[in-house]
Amino acid sequence: MLDADFFRRWMTATAASVDREAERLTALDSPIGDADHGSNLQRGFTAVAAALDKEAPGTPGGVLILAGRQLISTVGGASGPLYGTLLRRTGKALGDAGEVSAEQLAEALRAGVDAVMTLGGAAPGDATMIDALVPAVDALGDSFTAARTAAEEGAVATTPLQARKGRASYVGERSIGHQDPGATSAALLIAALAEAAGE
Amino acid sequence: MSDEQLVGIVLVSHSAEVAASVAELAKGLAGGGPAVPVAPAGGTEGGGLGTSAELIAAAAASVDRGAGVAVLTDLGSAVLTVKALLAEGDELPERTRLVDAPFVEGAVAAVVTASTGADLAAVEAAATEAYSYRKV
């Protein structure tokens, strides 16, 4: 079973990983976006880690709802409301249980990913974070490691795609050949989940 | 309807200057009627280009007179942040609506309509209708 501590580890592992990879995320965002994805997420997840340190919510849902709220208010770019909605909706789906199973987490994450698709209007194949998250949620039933691999493969698979949402869609066919920064950061989030699970 | 109950307008842009200038433009073109509460929410809190949930929430609270708040946005994170705040439920005043409208033309239409004492639905309709003003 996964408790609030597990979810705190997930968020702090994500913050550390975004910190390490910020320059790479921003570099991916330079040719097709506005070169702020790494620094935006770094600011957001630093705020998440600080807020969790200060408030220490006692339930898995509480951790994710607080984290999502921090992202919406601190990121400053589209990834804020998108990741914020992902975590908040996942947190709300977990309710106020003190511990949840991996199956419940997979189900809640699916609700979170659905909410992101509704908010941003993106579908699989549009070269967005959805292309990493949907396969990850599908694989989560097997293991956290399988989800991490699926997310990383999903992110790499955005390279030949033409971006159809957000700033990258304005550059049209020139977005082809670039791995999507949002799918890349989504893979970091899922990798941190596997890390929190000790896998 | 009394002047205290005009619909409030919030203008959200990635740029503080754009939001403030469009607010001035719309108020200027609204003429001499009752002063519509209009607040810009532009850029990030640090003054850069982007969107601030805090600035949006503060702007919405500052223009809320009880008749509802119409929020107009430019693009991308401005749209998504307002939608995410609306989904939160308690971040924005009751009867706050994201209006689907072109930013400049919609802002002028919204402020002019609000200055007549029109309700939120009428303000929203006027702003959205601005999409149909063809220029060529």
Question: Are the beta carbons of A81 and B76 separated by less than 8 Å?
Answer: no
Return the CATH number at A87: 1.25.40.340
pLDDT digit string (tens) for chain A, length 199 residues: 999 999 999 999 999 999 999 999 999 988 888 788 999 999 999 999 999 999 999 999 999 999 999 999 898 888 999 999 999 999 999 999 999 999 999 999 999 999 999 999 999 999 999 999 999 999 999 999 999 999 999 999 999 999 888 778 888 888 899 899 999 999 999 999 999 999 8
- Per-residue pLDDT tens digits for B21-80: 999 999 999 887 779 999 999 998 888 898 999 999 999 999 999 999 999 999 989 999
Tally A–B CB contacts below 8 A: 50
CA distance A114 to chain B (A): 14
Q: Tell me the ipTM for this assembly.
A: 0.80
Q: Give phi and psi for A76, each to the nearest 5.
A: 85, -10
Domain that holds residue B98: 3-132
A73: nearest CB among B53, B80, B87: B53
Contact A76 B51 (CB under 8 A): yes
Q: Which helix (H) or strand (E) holds A67?
A: helix A60-74
Residue A52 belongs to domain spanning: 2-196
- Interhelix angle for A60-74 vs A79-94, to 10°? 160
Question: Where is A38: in which H helix or E strand?
Answer: helix A37-55
**CB A13, CB A6: distance < 8 Å:** no
A84 in helix, strand or coil?
A: helix
Cβ contact B39:B62 at 8 Å: yes
Q: Do A78 and B76 touch (CB under 8 A)?
A: yes
Task: State the smallest CA–CA distance between residue A64 and chain B in angstroms.
Answer: 14
Return the pLDDT at A151: 97
Could you tell me if A167 and A32 are in contact, meaning their C-beta atoms sit under 8 angstroms apart?
A: yes
Angle at alpha carbon of residue A80, lines to A79 and A81, rounded to 5°: 100
How many C-beta neighbours within 10 Å does residue A23 have?
12
Count up the domains in chain A and report the number.
1
Calculate the alpha carbon distances from B23 to A97, B16, B124 in Å: 46, 11, 16
Q: How many domains does chain B have?
A: 1
Identity of the residue numbered A83 = Y
Beta strands A2-3 and A99-100 are antiparallel
Which pTM was predicted?
A: 0.89
Hey, are the CB atoms on A81 and B83 less than 8 Å from each other? Answer: yes
For the beta carbon of residue A25, count every other beta carbon within 10 angstroms: 25
Among positive and negative, which fits the CA dihedral B59, B61, B67, B71?
Answer: positive
CATH code of B36's domain: 3.40.50.510
Asked if the Cβ–Cβ distance from A73 to B54 is below 8 Å, we say yes
- Alpha carbon of B112: minimum distance to chain A alpha carbons (Å): 30
pLDDT for B2 equals 47
